[in-house]
Structure 1
Amino acid sequence: MKISDVLTGILLAIFGLAVILYAQTFPPIPGQDFGPRAFPSIIGVGFVLCALLLVRNGLRTQSRAAWLKLSDEFRSSHSVFRFLLVPAAVIAYILFSDRVGFAVFSVIFLLVLFLSFGVRPLTAVIVSVLGGALIFYGFYSLLHVPLSWGVLEPLI
């Protein structure tokens, strides 16, 4: 699949603006100069700046090229399934992570994605468990992000 830099830039700019606008809804933390709005807003500005560069370069180099061209791979239903599985997994995380818990869901999330993309089962299980544990540790312990324990809550 070939996506024009112009289209990618437009989508990235929309996403960056959405991140900036949503970050402004975060409540300030009393006694701190920088609150929870700062980091997401900086990232959103970075997205918008990159988007502007993409659009500029895309307009210079591909003035008449198609904005979207599907490759032969997208004629396969298995490829389309794998393509749609990633956003479906993100939506499932949004819907079920509080009940299931971040640690368990991240392992399941990674395992399903690895297996669907053809990773050998043993490798997929090992990397999913280790990856999920490392991601949980990084966010929960190092960054102090409050993550849901879900089904593991009785164990803590």
Structure 2
Amino acid sequence: MKAHDSIVGLVVAILGGAIALYSQSLVPPRHLNYGPGFFPLLIGIGLVLVGGGLIVQGYVTGRDKPLFYRPRWLENRQLVFRFWIIPIAILFYWLAVTPLGFLATATILLAMIQIANGVRWKLAFAVALITALVVNILFASILHVPLSWGVLTPISGLFIW
């Protein structure tokens, strides 16, 4: 089932507004002007802008289209699997990030998404590990937002400067 761009845009804009509002409740550290709410605020504003753009695009280009229809890609099992891997990955992250930690969870997650999309497993794990390390260092060192270390807590000091 595919929804009209205006409906998707409205949902995205509402979600972005909710994220931006929630980010205001995250208290920054005393010594910084920004903190844990800065990145979610940027994401929320971006989602509101993108949602607004989708609403306008849907109105301008899709006035004659139905609000909901079944796209042809739903007939291809591999494409359906590739679609569902993202919601499954989000659920996996939500369940695994606390016990495993961000580095382990993000590495597994990114590697599995790449492998599911045809990337060789060695390359997928290398790219996933480097990406997870860079994101972790950015969050911990620049944004001062600690991510869960989980099973890697004993060596966590090696990745923060």
State the TM-score, normalized to the length of structure 2: 0.80
CA distance in 2, matches of 1:121, 1:35: 36
Query: Once structures 1 and 2 are overlaid, which stretch shifts more, 69-78 or 7-16?
Result: 69-78
2:104 aligns with: 104
Task: Note the 1:83-94 alignment, pairs <5 A.
Answer: 83-94=83-94
- The 1:66–1:48 alpha-carbon spacing in structure 2 relative to 1, beyond 3 Å, is same
CA contact (8 A) 2:111 2:125 kept: yes
Query: Once structures 1 and 2 are overlaid, which stretch shifts more, 43-52 or 132-141?
Result: 43-52
1:20 aligns with: 20
CA distance in 2, matches of 1:114, 1:77: 17
Structure 2's unaligned 5+ residue stretches are: 157-161
- The 1:28–1:149 alpha-carbon spacing in structure 2 relative to 1, beyond 3 Å, is closer
| Displacement after TM superposition at 1:33 (Å) | 5.5
CA RMSD of aligned residues (A): 2.5
Query: Once structures 1 and 2 are overlaid, which stretch shifts more, 57-66 or 70-79?
Result: 70-79
- The 1:17–1:105 alpha-carbon spacing in structure 2 relative to 1, beyond 3 Å, is same
% identical equivalent positions: 35
CA distance in 1, matches of 2:139, 2:112: 22
Count of residues in Structure 1 that have an aligned counterpart in Structure 2: 156
Query: Once structures 1 and 2 are overlaid, which stretch shifts more, 67-76 or 27-36?
Result: 27-36
Query: Once structures 1 and 2 are overlaid, which stretch shifts more, 11-20 or 95-104?
Result: 11-20
CA contact (8 A) 2:35 2:144 kept: no
CA distance in 2, matches of 1:122, 1:43: 31
| Displacement after TM superposition at 1:134 (Å) | 1.8
| Displacement after TM superposition at 1:101 (Å) | 0.6
